[in-house]
Amino acid sequence: MDALSLEEAITRLAKQEMPLEPEDMILSWRPYPAEKEEWQFLVTGITRPPVDALIKTCSEAGIKPYLMCLPHVALASLANRDNAIIVDFEPDYSNITLVVQGVPFGMHTVPSSNADANVQDMTGQLIRELTRMTDFYNDNHPRNPITDTTAILLTGELANEPETVKLFQDETGYPVEILKEMPANTLAIPPEVPLATFAVNIGVALRDRVPPGYPAADPSLVREINLTNIIARRAVVKKHEGLGKILLPSAVLALGLLALIPAYLLQNQAGVKISQLKAEFQQAKTQLVQKQASTNMTGQTEASIRQIIASTAQIKSESQNILNPRDSVSDLNFLTQSLPPGTTFNSLNVNAEQISLTGITTAQERVMEYLRTLESSGLFSAVNIIWIDKGPNAGMGISFLIVIIR
């Protein structure tokens, strides 16, 4: 399949499976080997506001960004394992990635419970989420479960804390290790550099790696979030829009001058002298040009002022969101902690006004239980179930979409 046909097929499926329209997201995808020399694709969608905020922030800081990559994909590439549970343990949030047959099959971001939590409390929270994910996966994939011999690979700043490995080992029963070695035949890093701390960054550089024994994907089948290309396309669109604004007043002026000609011809037919016509025409033309120029200058000035005010307000709003993320972290932590048993998220879309979340659970009653919990918390203005749908395969569970007004 050529790249264009692949893009059309993935966009069509994304429209069917994802709660948002493809036009409202920036899609990326990556192929992974499947059975019988076929390929399966991991498709991810990021809403545009976070990407726009990152581009604007980098521009203000004088940084030229290259690309965005999900940390879960980067960690799976760095680990380069056939099967693994990767826990990226950070102070403010953590990422859990289930890798099955070389594919990042389960991905979850867990915000920290609060700023004062210690390593033991944060580990307990992560283990609960990890257990929820593995139980859900094993219930729905009994023929290819995550076994007790699957290793937990720890990365992140808190992976180097002395008690972290022991806490995970005691509470989960899985073999636990800190990721300390680069995959063979890749990058060479100095021994004093803590690989676990910079795992996501290094994983981005190795994002095209596949586990040993698996075929490499054709680069033409990969779609990344290339920020350089996004910025370039937007610059071209902006340039064309500006050119249209410049040409429009000139066209209006030309039409205005042409409209004067029939009137002066009628006057000529009525016996007005040609010399008087020329003089009056020239005078009218001069006045029209002066008036048009004055009007354009006034309109352009007012438009510039409005644009500056709007841009300032937008930058202040985005800066506030970046500098003060705690409200969203607190809300997401509550949403995660309140999940009923057997329920997990598929996606979360958060902005200043609302939170949209999709998930899978074992029964419709679980969704109603979750709704009542969120409503009774008093943290949100409204909580609405948009849809509940039982998949065609009973093993897939109950899918749902909830929209929360903040």
Strands 382-390 and 344-350: unpaired
**Whole-prediction pTM:** 0.57
First to last CA, the chain: 44
Question: Per-residue pLDDT tens for 138-175?
Answer: 999 998 899 999 999 999 999 988 899 999 999 888 99
Question: Per-residue pLDDT tens for 309-350?
Answer: 565 555 555 544 444 444 577 788 888 888 988 888 888 888
- Residue 206 binned pLDDT confidence (cut-offs 50, 70, 90): confident
Of 87, 95, 76, the residue nearest 206 (C-alpha)? 76
In the predicted structure, residue 246 carries a pLDDT above the cut 60: no
The owner of tokens 């996606």 is 347
Strands 344-350 and 225-226: unpaired
Q: Is the dihedral of CA 58, 63, 65, 68 positive or negative?
A: negative
Look at residue 244 in the predicted model and tell me its pLDDT.
Answer: 54
Question: Per-residue pLDDT tens for 76-115?
Answer: 888 888 899 999 999 888 999 999 988 888 898 888 877 7
- Average pLDDT score over residue span 244-270: 43
- Average pLDDT score over residue span 244-273: 43
